[in-house]
Structures are given as C-alpha cells and as structure tokens.
Amino acid sequence: MGTKSNLVDNPVRQEVNITRIFDAPRELVFKMWTDPELVEKWWGPKDFKNPVCELDARVGGTMRIVMQAPDGLMIPTSGVFTELLEPERIVFKNFKEDDDGNAQLEVINTVTFTEENGKTTMTLNALAVRITPEACASIEGMNVGWNQSIDRFAYVLTGINH
C-alpha cells in the first residue's frame, strides 16, 4: 500500500452481512479463506480473475490481491490479518487501492465459522470504515460483489468437497 492517503471516516458506514450454510466441514470452509490457491479461484465478482493472489494468513500477515474485471480493468487490493482463530474466526482489513497504491477504501471483514451435523455456517460481515470521494462507486457495489464472491466460493467448495 502506498504511503499517502486521503481516507476519511465513511459517513455512510456501508455494511454487508452474508450468512451461508455449506455441506462441508468447518476446517475446509476456513481453509478456503486462508489458502491463496483456493482464494484465487473464488475472490471477486462473477467473471473476475485474480492474476495476483498472495496471502500470509497469520495475525499481522498481509494479503495482496489484484482482481481483473472482464473488460481487463485491474483492481488492486491489499490487507492485513488482525485475528485468526482456526477454524472459528478470521478478521482482516483490506484496502482498495488506486493505480499508485494509495488506499481509497478501508473495509474491516469478520468471518465466523460454526459447524453442526457436518454442515458449516459461515457468516461474513464487511464494514467500510474509511473512504475517499473517488471510491464511492466501490461502496455501491460492495453488496453485489461480496454476494457474487460467496456464490463463487460455494461453487469452488463443492468441487473440492465432493
């Protein structure tokens, strides 16, 4: 992430909450968030690719994901893991960046995993806490983007688990 930023507290406090139940053990659902080879397959909206997907899934570890839209537009993000309690909970901050590596949007993501009768309930909370004026369009797409990502997550998980 670049050194300069004009992020301010997000007056809108955009928040996305998603709960899904997967027919898979919790350890595997957790791994889908921490293994870069798996994250690369599902991260981002429908039809997006991730030519860069680097994760150091530990407290203080960083993430770097560059999403590529179907039209070729590159969307760089960086982040840091602030909490990892395997296989129960992951908390990470991620930052959407401009082409110079400056943060435009800061989101705190909390993902929890509970297992019952071999099925895992995964709950995602993504809270946009700081933003630049240039990132307002990103906020508007956050709900759709996360839901499409989790749809892709389910598809990849099904392929691994069966």
The string of DSSP letters for 46-109 reads TT-EEEEEEE--STT-EEEEEEE-TTS-EEEEEEEEEEEETTTEEEEEEEEE-TTS-EEEEEEE
Phi, psi of 144 (to 5 degrees): -60, -45
Please say if the pLDDT value at position 10 is more than 70: no
Q: What is the pLDDT of residue 134?
A: 74
> Structural domains in the chain?
8-161 (3.30.530.20)
What does the block give as tokens for 34?
Answer: 């921490």
Instruction: Calculate the CA 78 to chain-centre distance.
Output: 10
Phi, psi dihedral angles at 127 (to 5 degrees): -120, 115
pLDDT of residue 12: 60
Confidence of residue 103 (pLDDT cuts 50, 70, 90): confident
DSSP for 141-161, please give it.
THHHHHHHHHHHHHHHHHHHH
pTM (predicted TM-score):
0.90
Task: State the average pLDDT for the chain.
Answer: 90
Q: Which helix (H) or strand (E) holds 36?
A: helix 36-42
Contact 76, 101 (CB under 8 A): yes
Which residue carries 């860069």 as its tokens? Answer: 52
The per-residue pLDDT for range 116-138, each reduced to its tens digit, is 999 999 999 999 888 887 777 67
Residues 6+ positions from 116 with CB-CB distance below 8 Å: none
pLDDT per position as a tens digit, 134-147: 777 677 778 899 99
Q: Please determine, for residue 156, whether its predicted confidence score (pLDDT) is greater than 80.
A: yes
